[in-house]
Structure 1
């Protein structure tokens, strides 16, 4: 059959058979013309061969590729989220991965060239079309490579910021700009020494100062970018400011912080704490929500935080969960005054997490 290895594909080649990921999703459809960035997407999905017009070769793609993906990912330092493998053929995951590749390329090029803002907008539009399938507490990337944490945080913060802008009743014209604010809030990290961003041990005072400069670097990089508004630029600058004036870089108080930055601050903290890293396990989303609630007293915008918590925990009764002690159960009632500590049924018994403070929901299964 007309196969060619991904390493030999040239931009402009035409795909003559759907490209299927080893996990079962359609990555690229028949008839697609390969663009330069598509080659990196194929590599990111660990696709070995593709059938293209005019190529000669033998089809060697088999079911054995599935365990091979896990082996290759492990060698590359990836954390594979087993709980989402069954859902990984969803269009949301497909567009998420394409957005991830594009933001990685864009961040890497940002210091030397202008951001491909219209291409970013196009892919963000495609991603947002599947927002109905995105649940903040349930969604997880298929594979999280150690070195790609910042890119995952960017894409997830974009989705969550869009949701928060909706939930808080901001005008529709602000929803996509809030998503851009989430997507680009950490673009200044491209000018920070990557070794500092990946350092597993505590930073020294000078190193902390350098990492904190990512906020001003980000504003500078976005200053002349078209198709985004000033709020997006200010979100890059202000997303670490606190409403009591204790944040950085300018120690602004709540009245001086743009509302995009207040939205992104919540999304960024949530995903920073719930994404796993090579040197730190992902934290329970429910414990992170409780931490956000504490931060809403003087640090984060209380209305945004409370809206975020109420909306994300608004799950239907019967939602299956895993508790911190490893037992599985299902939610049977959520007290709106204590949304992070619902009543769950476990092994035929009712567990009230309001009273069982040593327990918490570790993960939503389905």
Structure 2
């Protein structure tokens, strides 16, 4: 059936090859469309394509069902990694170090399971939990660090190493008083100073367990900032290891998007806007831009509430302004890039 690209849905399968006006081959017959494919068609100014008839007209339910099914498949591997993080912490409490081999056993299977999926955003949100925040956070930072490294063009080996740096970045918290870690109210200056020690402790634990490497540097430096405002040493960006810069972005994102005893989960768009703001002073701008650029396409097809009170659906993302996409509201289209008076208030994921 022939459909306008505004009406395409993630999961539609092409029924013929697609060429642009210059005869350049864009997408192949049989391709199952994801968010990047639909954006590609838009960028090539293609209006209509042929797709196979959909099995169900209720695409939103189908997408939710697919996301839920993906989360169910990955959940055992996610739980294994969370339990593994708990065990690493417990080993440190008992002996002052951990079994390095367990990192590979716990983290590698999760990476393999995620590599089969395309909607990374939805999966990370689905697998996020309020309980055992420290351990869920360690796993989430590990996964985000892995994907960030991939999106930055790193090899699979380098990406996996970076993911493990993220997985271990908070290992120093194993030696911090749990009453301080889980305190529901604002920390005192003394308690905050105690928390800051986890970076130094984490470096020492990793070096004692595996030797000095970028893994121990990431644990030490993931709270340092490009403008020198971070801790523990207040170094600037040119003194930070590249892996530390990636883990820092993953850590900030995960902390802001997660539910904690003293913080409600924030809307994803608000979090990405805050990351964008921080990229002008504290976080590496290229890494942040790469992260946002790869996250935004996953919003295609998602419902949004607008400042006008209307509910719409994101149909295209704007490569020149990540936060102002094209939104369909019933039978009209609103290009937020040309409508500065209208904002997205919430994305329903």
Do residues 199 (structure 1) and 220 (structure 2) align?
no
Give the alignment partner of residue 198 of structure 2, picking from 214, 230, 242: 214
Asked whether the equivalents of residues 341 and 360 of structure 1 are also in contact (C-alpha less than 8 Å), the reply is no
Asked whether the equivalents of residues 111 and 191 of structure 1 are also in contact (C-alpha less than 8 Å), the reply is yes
Task: Give the secondary structure class of the aligned counterpart of 1:222.
Answer: helix
Cα separation, 2, equivalents of 1:157 and 1:165:
12
Moved more, 112-121 or 299-308: 112-121
Task: Give the secondary structure class of the aligned counterpart of 1:314.
Answer: helix
Give the alignment partner of residue 160 of structure 2, picking from 176, 180, 189: 176
Cα separation, 1, equivalents of 2:299 and 2:270:
20
Do residues 160 (structure 1) and 141 (structure 2) align?
no
Do residues 105 (structure 1) and 83 (structure 2) align?
no
The change in CA–CA distance for 1:296 and 1:83 in structure 2 (over 3 A counts) is farther
Task: Give the secondary structure class of the aligned counterpart of 1:315.
Answer: helix
Alignment of 1:237-252 (within 5 A): 237-252=220-235
Do residues 254 (structure 1) and 237 (structure 2) align?
yes
The change in CA–CA distance for 1:301 and 1:142 in structure 2 (over 3 A counts) is closer
Cα separation, 2, equivalents of 1:206 and 1:340:
39
Cα separation, 2, equivalents of 1:262 and 1:324:
34
1:291-332 Cα offsets, whole Å, 9 max, x none, are 111111121111101111111112374x22243779653211
C-alpha deviation, 1:142, in angstroms = 4.6
Moved more, 96-105 or 254-263: 96-105
Cα separation, 2, equivalents of 1:89 and 1:162:
18
Counterpart position of 2:69? 87
The change in CA–CA distance for 1:344 and 1:223 in structure 2 (over 3 A counts) is same
Do residues 339 (structure 1) and 341 (structure 2) align?
no
Asked whether the equivalents of residues 146 and 160 of structure 2 are also in contact (C-alpha less than 8 Å), the reply is yes
Asked whether the equivalents of residues 71 and 126 of structure 2 are also in contact (C-alpha less than 8 Å), the reply is no
Unaligned residue ranges in structure 1 (runs of 5+): 1-81
Give the alignment partner of residue 172 of structure 2, picking from 157, 176, 188: 188
C-alpha deviation, 1:271, in angstroms = 0.8
Asked whether the equivalents of residues 99 and 123 of structure 1 are also in contact (C-alpha less than 8 Å), the reply is yes
Give the alignment partner of residue 256 of structure 2, picking from 266, 270, 273: 273
The change in CA–CA distance for 1:346 and 1:117 in structure 2 (over 3 A counts) is farther
The change in CA–CA distance for 1:327 and 1:357 in structure 2 (over 3 A counts) is closer
1:272-304 Cα offsets, whole Å, 9 max, x none, are 111112332111111111111111112111110
Counterpart position of 2:276? 293
The change in CA–CA distance for 1:270 and 1:89 in structure 2 (over 3 A counts) is closer
Task: Give the secondary structure class of the aligned counterpart of 1:339.
Answer: coil
Cα separation, 2, equivalents of 1:84 and 1:194:
38
Compare the two structures and name the one with the higher helix fraction.
2
Cα separation, 1, equivalents of 2:292 and 2:225:
19
Asked whether the equivalents of residues 270 and 285 of structure 1 are also in contact (C-alpha less than 8 Å), the reply is no
State TM-score, norm by structure 2: 0.73
C-alpha deviation, 1:361, in angstroms = 3.4
Task: Give the secondary structure class of the aligned counterpart of 1:305.
Answer: helix
Asked whether the equivalents of residues 128 and 136 of structure 2 are also in contact (C-alpha less than 8 Å), the reply is no
Moved more, 236-245 or 87-96: 87-96
Counterpart position of 1:304? 287
C-alpha deviation, 1:203, in angstroms = 1.2
Counterpart position of 1:315? 298
Cα separation, 2, equivalents of 1:232 and 1:269:
18
Alignment of 1:8-47 (within 5 A): none
The change in CA–CA distance for 1:104 and 1:357 in structure 2 (over 3 A counts) is farther
Q: Structure 1 stretches (4+) deviating beyond 6 angstroms?
A: 82-85, 324-327
Asked whether the equivalents of residues 165 and 174 of structure 1 are also in contact (C-alpha less than 8 Å), the reply is yes
State TM-score, norm by structure 1: 0.70
Give the alignment partner of residue 215 of structure 2, picking from 228, 232, 245: 232
Task: Give the secondary structure class of the aligned counterpart of 1:362.
Answer: strand
Cα separation, 1, equivalents of 2:222 and 2:128:
27
Asked whether the equivalents of residues 188 and 218 of structure 1 are also in contact (C-alpha less than 8 Å), the reply is yes
Unaligned residue ranges in structure 2 (runs of 5+): 1-63
The change in CA–CA distance for 1:143 and 1:269 in structure 2 (over 3 A counts) is closer
Number of residue equivalences = 280
